[in-house]
Amino acid sequence: HLCCIYGINGGSYKVDNSVGYGRTFDGIGAISGGGATSKLLINYPTEQRSQILDYLFKPNFGASLQIFKVEIGGDIQSTDGTEASHMHNSWDENYNRGYEWWMMKEAKMRNPDIKLYGLPWGFPGFLKDAYDRPWGNIQSTADYVVKWVNGARVYHNLTMDYIGIWNESPYNITYIKTLRKSLDNAGFGKTMIIASDQNGWDIAGDATKDAELNNAIFGFGSHYPGTNSTPEAASLNKPLWASEDWSCVDPLVGPGCLARTLNQNYVNGYMTSTIIWNIISSYYYGLPWYNSGIMTASEPWSGHYIVPQNIWVTAHTTQFTSIGWKYLKHGYGVGKLNGGGSYVVLISPDEQDLTIIIETLSHDSSICTRPPLAPYNVVAGQTATFELAGILKQRFTSLNTWYSRIGYYKFPSVSFKNRGPLTIQDGSLSVQLGKDEVWTLSTVKSGFKGSFPSVPGSKRFPLPYIEDFEGYKVGEEPFNLAQQVGSFEVDQINNVKFMKQVVLETPVHWFYCLIGTYNTSLNVIGDYTWQDIRADVAVKLDGENTTDSVYLSVRTTACGCQADIESGLFLFFFPKEQRYLLSSDLLRKNILVSGKVPTVTHDWDVIKLQAKGDHVWGAVNNDMLFNISIPVSISHGWVAVGTYPFGTAYFDDLHINPV
Ligand code: 147
């Protein structure tokens, strides 16, 4: 009786490739973008920056990611900010904007085999149709994406392996076919289309009815699938991916959600890749989904960073597999454990290496952000015996063991501990499994828990702060200024550098982010907890396509996709009309005070704003405009600048001081 040998919850599990293989493993990845999630990483001190990138990308060191997915910037707010488009306008092209190019090169430098995947969340305004979608001129939209793929090759020597459609937004079948043809025509026949990066598998239904569509698509990618796909999606013999998953903020359940998902996306849903949102929480505290990266590094001024257990949970799979390995078949090396949890077995193409990954995550320590998780039970202890058959039995006599226990309030965690070799006797191998554990048993010997001697301590955003933009190259996006709506880049006239807002019309917004439907821009900087603060900025409207008003804001909590409903003290200056207004919101629905501006130079005019205690005063140049009491609800926040509506404006000499 099995019950007497293994205990009531024990089990014996076949590991056998003589029946053939399951699907091919496509790799574990993570996403930079959707949006601006890596914003603060690029100006970290070089030493710490390199360490962080090692934890993410270096093989046999940390998360050792196998796929790197990035946002194709669309000049739109896409969760934590806006990533610049390579084409702000139909007449504009630039392949050096933002930080994704840089980050892809850092990834490739560490791991030349890492696969790259690009996906737009939104598109610049010139591609917008009457329904606020990019399908008015489908060829133009395809050309726009192909230009990005080509820019990657020409300017950065980066080959895009995969390309997506439109993040979590309605797809267009003609567009998918057109994109395929356009990629082929431009020589990118090897850049594969993943569709459709939505929640669900509707695209598979369309592909069953349309051979050309089916041929255009390499694999189906769904978001937050809750480890499940559909029989229809699985029937088409295409890779199925969880092309965005996880989004955990909570350090208590994040690693557990990840461990369960990485295994069970294959066990339950036949998904051969899981791509984690997001790769690194490098955005200000106070922005949405803070700490929702597999790592956190949001203090470029201090160099401080955090390496959470997520890194080591990822390592349990990535350090012992490669893209192209085969999963065994369900029931022959893939399945659920009798006492709760799951296991997967993968084998290298030459059949010389074998890796078993086991997780016993309980319900409460592995709840993901979405979807809801139905109740299930995991026992406190169970013995799992793996019975190798056929050539596997002949070939393998010992496996290296790596162990983690997911920590939560009751139990301390263990992360990626090497427990030495485990002997396989006559094809049989037993492990005692506790609850909330992750195990890797593998012939691969290169597993390694990377580390660095020390990490600098955490510090607050440094004050006083001065930014004159002279240290940047033209076209660069200034550090620390976290553009939320609109795109801001350094420009130069007569040897003077300054920051310019360059978006001229409302872009095609990301479907889930309605702030992108408004005609206004916003760029935040500093510390979300600032209360008493003084800021000055020089502004200028010059040349064509200028905006009507520019603003400086303090105590602003406006950010992300809900920037319209948050508050702040926004001092709007209308140079042409020589007037100002102070509102407590970005959209100027609540005006606190307004009036004339006595002196306007129409050259560089300086806006000054100070909040101290319950009073705020503002000035333009040397004229004090108001000194009034602050509504009690407006207590803290970043400093911000922006325009209303879109249109160009220059900003220079931003000074922030404590008061
Ligand atoms: C996703 C986005 O693709 C990411 O950029 C990021 O915002 C992430 C945060 O969890 O969420 O967007 C989703 C929006 C809505 C749903 C799922 C993902 N939804 O309603 O299920």
Annotation says 577 is catalytic: no
Tens-digit pLDDT profile for residues 24-36: 999 999 999 999 9
Confidence of residue 409 (pLDDT cuts 50, 70, 90): low
Q: Is the CB of 247 under 6 A from ligand 1?
A: yes
Under 8 Å CB-to-CB from 170, ≥6 apart: which residues?
A: 133, 511
How far apart are the C-alpha atoms of 204 and 195, rounded to whole Å? 9
Q: What is the DSSP letter of 476?
A: P
- The arithmetic mean of pLDDT across residues 559-584, rounded, is 98
Catalytic residue chosen out of the listed positions 168, 299, 437, 476: 168
pLDDT at 48 over 50: yes
- The arithmetic mean of pLDDT across residues 2-19, rounded, is 80
Under 8 Å CB-to-CB from 528, ≥6 apart: which residues?
A: 284, 285, 286, 557, 636, 637, 638
- The arithmetic mean of pLDDT across residues 44-66, rounded, is 99
Which residue is listed with tokens 């010992």? 398
- The arithmetic mean of pLDDT across residues 31-54, rounded, is 98
- The arithmetic mean of pLDDT across residues 230-249, rounded, is 97
Q: Which atom of ligand 1 is nearest to the CA of 197?
A: 3
- The arithmetic mean of pLDDT across residues 3-7, rounded, is 53
Annotation says 168 is catalytic: yes
- The reported pLDDT for the residue numbered 235 is 97
- The arithmetic mean of pLDDT across residues 391-404, rounded, is 98
Confidence of residue 1 (pLDDT cuts 50, 70, 90): very low
Q: Which atom of ligand 1 is nearest to the CA of 247?
A: 10
- The arithmetic mean of pLDDT across residues 393-415, rounded, is 90
Tens-digit pLDDT profile for residues 596-635: 999 999 899 999 999 999 999 999 999 999 999 999 999 9
- The reported pLDDT for the residue numbered 7 is 61
- The reported pLDDT for the residue numbered 331 is 98
- The arithmetic mean of pLDDT across residues 33-43, rounded, is 98
- The reported pLDDT for the residue numbered 629 is 98
DSSP-assigned beta bridge partners for residue 289: none
The question of ipTM being above 0.95 is answered as yes
pLDDT at 554 over 70: yes
pLDDT at 539 over 90: yes
Tens-digit pLDDT profile for residues 103-122: 999 999 999 999 999 999 99
pLDDT at 659 over 70: yes
Which residue is listed with tokens 């404006």? 649
pLDDT at 471 over 60: yes
- The reported pLDDT for the residue numbered 407 is 83
Ligand 1 atom 19 nearest Cα: 199
Confidence of residue 3 (pLDDT cuts 50, 70, 90): very low
Question: What distance lies between CA 581 and its chain's CA centroid?
Answer: 37
Catalytic residue chosen out of the listed positions 83, 106, 244, 476: 244
Handedness of CA 359, 360, 365, 368 (dihedral sign): positive
Question: What distance lies between CA 433 and its chain's CA centroid?
Answer: 33
Residues 489 and 93: beta-carbon distance below 8 Å: no
Q: How distant, in Å, are the alpha carbons of 127, 166, 277, 503, 509 from that of 130? A: 10, 17, 31, 19, 13
For a ligand 1 pocket test, name from 38, 72, 79 the mutation site with the most ligand atoms within 8 angstroms of its C-beta.
79
Read off the pTM: 0.98
3-class secondary structure, 482: strand
Q: Is the CB of 277 under 6 A from ligand 1?
A: yes
- The reported pLDDT for the residue numbered 308 is 95
Q: Which atom of ligand 1 is nearest to the CA of 512?
A: 14
CA of 563 to the centre of ligand 1 (A): 17
Average pLDDT value over all residues in the chain: 97
Q: How distant, in Å, are the alpha carbons of 4, 340, 361, 369, 525 from that of 382? A: 13, 9, 13, 28, 52
The string of DSSP codes covering 582-640 is EEEETT--SEEEEEE-S---SSSEEEEEEEETTEEEEEETTEEEEEEEPPTT----EEE
Residues in the chain: 659
Token pair listed for 286: 């106070």
CA of 199 to the centre of ligand 1 (A): 9
Nearest CA to 343 out of 407, 221, 438, 234 is that of 438
Residues 183 and 149: beta-carbon distance below 8 Å: yes
The string of DSSP codes covering 116-168 is EEEEES-B-GGG--TTSSS-TTHHHHHHHHHHHHHHHHHHH-----EE-S-TT
3-class secondary structure, 318: helix
Buried b (16+ CB within 10 A) or exposed e, 264-281: bbbbbbbbbbbbbbbbbb
How far apart are the C-alpha atoms of 368 and 141, rounded to whole Å? 34
pLDDT at 548 over 60: yes
Q: Is the CB of 223 under 6 A from ligand 1?
A: yes
How far apart are the C-alpha atoms of 362 and 337, rounded to whole Å? 12
Ligand 1 atom 11 nearest Cα: 247
Residue type, 204: A
Confidence of residue 327 (pLDDT cuts 50, 70, 90): very high
Q: Is the CB of 366 under 6 A from ligand 1?
A: no
pLDDT at 40 over 80: yes
Ligand 1 atom 9 nearest Cα: 247
- The arithmetic mean of pLDDT across residues 130-134, rounded, is 97
Higher pLDDT, 603 or 253: 603
